[in-house]
């Protein structure tokens, strides 16, 4: 026992030697207690322990007792989290699907390493560096690790290629290079003077991509813009502010942050001597319940400044600012330090209970169960959180997330159990891969471009029957009534995926948007008088509303 006490005192002294003076003078502080506990476990525990994991578990445990967005990631997780936001990675440059446990190349990146050596859409990669990856139930993440690597290094792949009724295997050596990750999924004209841009995240290259997309569309006659932020989970704050700098008047307040230990910090758009790319013309922003963080900063500022109309469903409500705190081993703690507030002072963050991660995760299910996603009158408005927009003084609401100016209900009519089961088995992708494999040449010959394809290609009843036969083979019980209900959805997804595989990602959205209720409402509003009605001052008889501070 005496030896234990002497050793523990020595450990305590060693720990305190590295503490700031204020903490050294307080040996009973929680930080000292935690360090002493870890040191004692490492020194005296009956069995061997993994100290790295012990410390990681302790950090995760502490953060779980805080807000829902403070988090810890190990070195590998940190790389995976940062990669999509940094704008590129080193690899071979393909878009792929896993079809029946085989890697199927959908597209090669234009000018990328795979395209340069002759990899083609439709090829199946079956080996990577003499390791078989087909038919062995290898995880996507493990396959990607084998294909990615440092720039300039080589990777050997064996490809199965079907063409002209024959099947060949071909060996390729591909030199890895930097591959861009795009945040703009699609940009095209949807009418004589209306453009559409689909943004999937706010990343390092987003401002450049958005500038190029806006410039291109303006060159094609765009006077009005539909900005699609549906399912956009956010990303970098600066990317959002840069985008708002192209949409709002110069020098406008875009967002401000504030926390207990973080004084208020105002973020403004471009200086007043700079000219935005699209500060005039009609603007509609599409959002839904999965639009979060930077998407909410963007849509909230557009709404607060009366710059455009927000269409869709109430956004996620992620308004907490995380400060990244990297550790020497490459791991990172993202600690919440402040709240995001829209220019009118609305707190974007939805309510939460500290430590109740499960309850927070179930919020979306709660919204569905209480009917908020289907019925506008089920949305909970809190009178004390009403504010006025900055220019027209329209009443809008805080309380978490951005409530749209025009609500679009979630339509689940076509989403049947039969459709869900087929989708979950990956059968739609499998069917599309097989179809494109067989018909790629005739599709390219029949349709001169993707617009021609979108206008003329039709998914036939015979094609749907082929899909249903695939489902039968997977022991998914056929339901005639549900199949009929889901037929328009099946047809749209099949057409969109075939278009993406034969042409590009924009083709997918050209097809999808014709079916999407949020897009259809956005387009209707931006081309009608209702746009001006939604952006009108309230009736003089309306009660005055307070502005949040």
**Residues belonging to the active site:** 293, 304, 318
Three-state SS for 521? helix
d(CA 80, CA 68): 20
Query: 236: Cβ–Cβ under 8 A, 6 or more apart, which residues?
Result: 85, 202, 203, 204, 206, 294
DSSP string of 258-308, one letter each residue? EETTEEEEEEE-S-TTS--SSSSS-EEEEE-TT--THHHHHHHHHHHTT-S
d(CA 295, CA 228): 10
Locus of tokens 């004589």: 192
Query: 248: Cβ–Cβ under 8 A, 6 or more apart, which residues?
Result: 254, 269, 276, 279, 301, 302, 305, 307
Locus of tokens 């039968």: 472
Q: What is the dihedral of CA 510, 512, 517, 518, to 10 degrees?
A: -60
Q: Is the Cβ–Cβ distance between 310 and 220 less than 8 Å?
A: no
Q: Is the Cβ–Cβ distance between 400 and 351 less than 8 Å?
A: yes
Whole-Å CA distances, 346 to 256, 303, 336, 354, 378: 10, 11, 18, 21, 21
Q: Tell me the two tokens of residue 94.
A: 């393909």
């Amino acid at each position: 026992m005496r030896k234990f006490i002497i050793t523990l005192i020595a450990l305590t002294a060693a720990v305190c030697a590295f503490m700031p003076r204020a903490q050294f003078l307080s040996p009973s502080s929680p930080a000292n207690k935690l360090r002493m506990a870890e040191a004692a476990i490492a020194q005296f525990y009956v069995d061997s322990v993994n100290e790295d994991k012990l410390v990681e578990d302790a950090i995760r445990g502490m953060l779980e007792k805080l807000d829902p967005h403070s988090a810890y990631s190990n070195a590998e997780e940190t790389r995976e989290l940062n990669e999509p936001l940094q704008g590129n990675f080193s690899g071979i440059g393909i878009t792929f699907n896993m079809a029946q446990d085989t890697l199927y190349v959908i597209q090669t990146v234009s000018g990328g390493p795979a395209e340069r050596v002759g990899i083609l859409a439709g090829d199946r990669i079956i080996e990577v560096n003499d390791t078989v990856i087909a038919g062995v139930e290898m995880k996507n993440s493990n396959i990607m690790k084998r294909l990615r690597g440092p720039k300039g290094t080589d990777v050997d792949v064996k490809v199965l290629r079907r063409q002209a009724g024959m099947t060949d295997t071909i060996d390729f050596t591909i030199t890895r290079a930097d591959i861009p990750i795009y945040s703009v999924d699609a940009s095209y004209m949807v009418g004589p003077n209306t453009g559409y841009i689909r943004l999937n995240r706010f990343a390092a290259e987003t401002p450049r991509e958005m500038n190029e997309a806006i410039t291109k569309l303006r060159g094609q006659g765009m006077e009005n813009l539909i900005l699609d932020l549906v399912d956009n989970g956010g990303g970098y704050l600066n990317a959002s502010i840069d985008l708002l700098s192209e949409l709002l008047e110069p020098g406008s307040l875009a967002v401000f942050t504030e926390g207990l230990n973080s004084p208020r910090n105002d973020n403004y758009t471009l200086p007043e001597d700079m000219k935005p790319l699209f500060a005039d013309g009609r603007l509609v922003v599409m959002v839904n319940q999965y639009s979060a963080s930077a998407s909410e900063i963007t849509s909230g500022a557009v709404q607060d400044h009366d710059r455009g109309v927000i269409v869709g469903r109430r956004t996620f409500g992620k308004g907490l600012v995380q400060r990244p705190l990297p550790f020497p081993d490459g791991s990172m703690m993202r600690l919440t330090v402040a709240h995001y507030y829209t220019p009118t002072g609305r707190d974007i963050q939805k309510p939460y209970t500290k430590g109740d991660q499960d309850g927070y995760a179930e919020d979306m299910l709660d919204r569905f169960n209480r009917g908020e996603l289907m019925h506008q009158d089920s949305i909970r408005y809190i009178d004390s959180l009403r504010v006025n927009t900055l220019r027209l003084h329209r009443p809008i609401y805080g309380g978490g997330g951005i409530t749209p100016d025009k609500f679009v209900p979630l339509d689940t009519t076509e989403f049947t159990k039969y459709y869900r089961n087929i989708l979950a088995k990956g059968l739609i992708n499998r069917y599309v891969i097989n179809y494109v494999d067989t018909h790629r040449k005739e599709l390219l010959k029949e349709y001169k471009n993707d617009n021609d394809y979108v206008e003329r290609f039709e998914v036939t009843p015979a094609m749907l029957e082929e899909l249903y036969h695939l489902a039968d083979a997977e022991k998914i019980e056929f339901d005639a009534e549900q199949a009929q209900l889901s037929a328009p959805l099946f047809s749209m997804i099949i057409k969109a995926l075939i278009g993406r595989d034969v042409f590009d990602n924009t083709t997918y959205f050209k097809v999808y948007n014709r079916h999407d209720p949020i897009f259809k409402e956005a387009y209707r509003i931006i081309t009608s008088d209702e746009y001006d009605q939604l952006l009108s001052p309230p009736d003089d008889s309306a009660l005055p509303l307070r502005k949040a501070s």
